[in-house]
Amino acid sequence: MPEAPPLERHPGNPILTPTSRWWEDRWVFNSGATVHRGEVVLLYRAQGQDWISRLGLARLRNGVEVIERRPLPVFEPDVGNEWERLGTEDPRVTAFDGRYYISYTAASLYPAIKPIRRARPSPFAEEGVPWRVRIAIAATRDFKRFRRIGLAFRRWDNKNGALFPAKIRGKYYLMHRIFPNVHLGVSRDLRRWHNLGPLLEVRPHMWDGNRVGAGAPPLWTPHGWLLFYHGVDDRRTYRLGVALLDLEHPRHVLARADNPILDPKEPYEREGLVPNVVFTCGAVELGDRYFVYYGGADSVIGVATVSREAMLRWAAQAARSAPDVPERLRRAAQRETRELTSVRRAGG
């Protein structure tokens, strides 16, 4: 496997830091990113005096220069929604069909007077605060008014949801994390979801051997879907890596670089709320470079870039040496249609 080109930090990092406003005066981190009206929009997670996660918005010129930062959050927990009453976290923004879809982590607690019965593995300990996390989806056209669509995989603790920026065979695809691996889900309506199973699994004794999670929503290239993701080692150091997925059969991983493309090295990445973390939720293509936005130590936001030509060269070389789509995945694609029809009928 050829080595993937590394990301290069912007010399002006961090580009977003906490302000004196009460809702974002502790930490700002983990921003989704998209291009809206010719400018990069960051939808970022912020915490303030009450420790509740809300989403703020910043606009960037040339991908790095902040030209607007909203004084109030643009999205916050719905007080009547039991699933997200303690926070709306780690947004990913996916643009298609004239809308911007936001997948975010809805945070709440399991009832304290009942024992927790988790349906799937969880990163949370059985003792201590009984955190309950789910992936929620919302949509907007203008980043002023948002429409909540609902939860994906309501029964499971789940996070790191990232929607693909196009339908594939008429269906929506969502990467999500059932601990410790990245899974792939599919839906016809963004409300009823079917899990297809693991997509990227941990690699023992490597930099992503403890857990992995989808980072930015995948980017289209002629060679496959380009995915920037995070991986964690046994020392709980978060790094960024890159993988390539088949365009028509995204369950087929064409390539996954052995090397991380960004390590926490700078003080703002090594020191903060959670040390030794670089964590991305958003990436965009601007001109001849990919811009990857990331949280540093769960405290600030930085950006790092890579030459589009260099990354596509890696993708092309990796795709040429990748095996063909296995017949089992082609058959599975046919089964998806039948299973989704059953899910839709069962849900009324």
The CATH number given to whatever domain includes residue 135 is 2.115.10.20
At residue 259, what is the residue type? N
Is 169 part of any domain?
yes
In a domain, 218, yes or no: yes
Contacts of 18 (CB under 8 A, 6+ apart): 24, 25, 26, 27, 28, 46, 299, 300
- pLDDT for the residue 121: 73
Kindly provide the b/e burial profile for residues 4-24, where b requires at least 16 CB atoms within 10 angstroms of the residue's own CB.
bbbbebbeebbbbebeebebb
pLDDT of residue 322: 85
Residue 157 included in any domain: yes
Cβ neighbours of residue 37 under 8 Å, at least 6 residues apart?
none
Query: 78 is in which domain, residue-wise?
Result: 8-346
Write down the pLDDT at residue 122: 75
Q: Does residue 1 sit within a domain?
A: no
Is 3 among the domain residues?
Answer: no
Q: Is position 270 within any domain?
A: yes
Whole-number Å distance between alpha carbons of 231 and 125: 20
Strand partners, 137: 103, 150
**pLDDT by residue for the chain (348 residues), tens digit each?**
789 999 999 999 999 999 999 999 999 999 999 999 999 999 999 999 999 999 999 999 999 999 999 999 999 999 899 999 999 999 999 999 899 999 999 999 998 887 777 767 777 766 788 999 999 999 999 999 999 999 999 999 999 999 999 999 999 999 999 999 999 999 999 999 999 999 999 999 999 999 999 999 999 999 999 999 999 999 999 999 999 999 999 999 999 999 999 999 999 999 999 999 999 999 999 999 999 999 999 999 999 999 999 999 999 999 998 888 787 777 776 676 665 555 444 443
Is 2 among the domain residues?
A: no
The pLDDT, as a whole number, for residue 343 is: 46
Q: How many domains are there within the chain? A: 1
pTM as predicted? 0.93
For residue 97, count other CB atoms closer than 10 A to its CB: 10
